[in-house]
Amino acid sequence: MDAAQRVAEAMAAWPRSGFLPRRERRHAGRDGPVPIGHGQTNSQPRTVAAMLELLDVRPGDRVLDVGAGSAWTTALLAHLTGPDGVVVGVERIPEIAAVGAASLERTGMPWAHVALATPGVLGSPSHGPFDRVLVSADAQTLSRELVDQLRPGGVMVIPVRGWMHRVVRDPGFDRDGVATGDAQVEMHGAYRFVPLIED
């Protein structure tokens, strides 16, 4: 199965409606963002599919989901890693994180969880390094802090100033065996997202 088929299978297994506020569920079939409260959204399905295909998650991967929101992406990632993987979702708005965590718990995939983001910390360095990092909010810059949470050879998909970036951390090491932290960056089209809060 290629990445697109695996993503389609995950989306069929975990329909978006199970992660939307009850009053918004009638919009689940619409290919657009749907409000989840506090000015935030559950992302457009076509965009989520494109990002997950670029991310190319493998069974057993350790994955970080920045901007977990409704936790739909966290559940899709957990489906893609399977039970040998680990998925850490981080969300900065406490009320959204609590609802997302409850929706995720109902999926019965205990290798995934949603945690409240620590103020002033991007991602979850204490749970890293990660094979894959998904960022579902628009960054102002390609943050060194997030690249540093990737394993050498790891992949991050992140919108930066409206452009989707696919970042592959170089598998390079210095003479002491420490990863050098350089990265290859490709751009994959224009998208609109709520902002990634970076302070």
Ligand X SMILES: C[S@@+](CC[C@H](N)C(=O)[O-])C[C@H]1O[C@@H](n2cnc3c(N)ncnc32)[C@H](O)[C@@H]1O
Nearer to ligand X, 88 or 90 (CB): 90
The distance of closest approach from Cβ of residue 73 to ligand X in the complex, given in angstroms and rounded to an integer, is 4
SS3 call for 42:
strand
* Residues of the shown chain interacting with ligand X in the complex, contacts defined by CB under 6 A: 40-43, 66-70, 72-73, 90-93, 96, 117, 122, 136-137, 193-194, 196-197
Of 134 and 183, nearer to ligand X (C-beta) is: 134
Residue 79 CB, nearest distance to ligand X (Å)?
A: 13
Smallest separation, CB 178 to ligand X (Å): 27
Whether 41 and 20 have beta carbons less than 8 Å apart is answered as no
Answer yes or no: 43 catalytic: yes
For 123-157, b where at least 16 C-beta lie within 10 A, e where not — what string? bbeebbbbbbbbbbbbbeeebeebbbbbbbebbbb
Nearer to ligand X, 104 or 179 (CB): 104
**Rg of the chain (C-alpha set):** 16
Helices 72-81, 3-13: inter-axial angle, 10-degree rounding:
120
Q: Tell me the catalytic residues.
A: 43
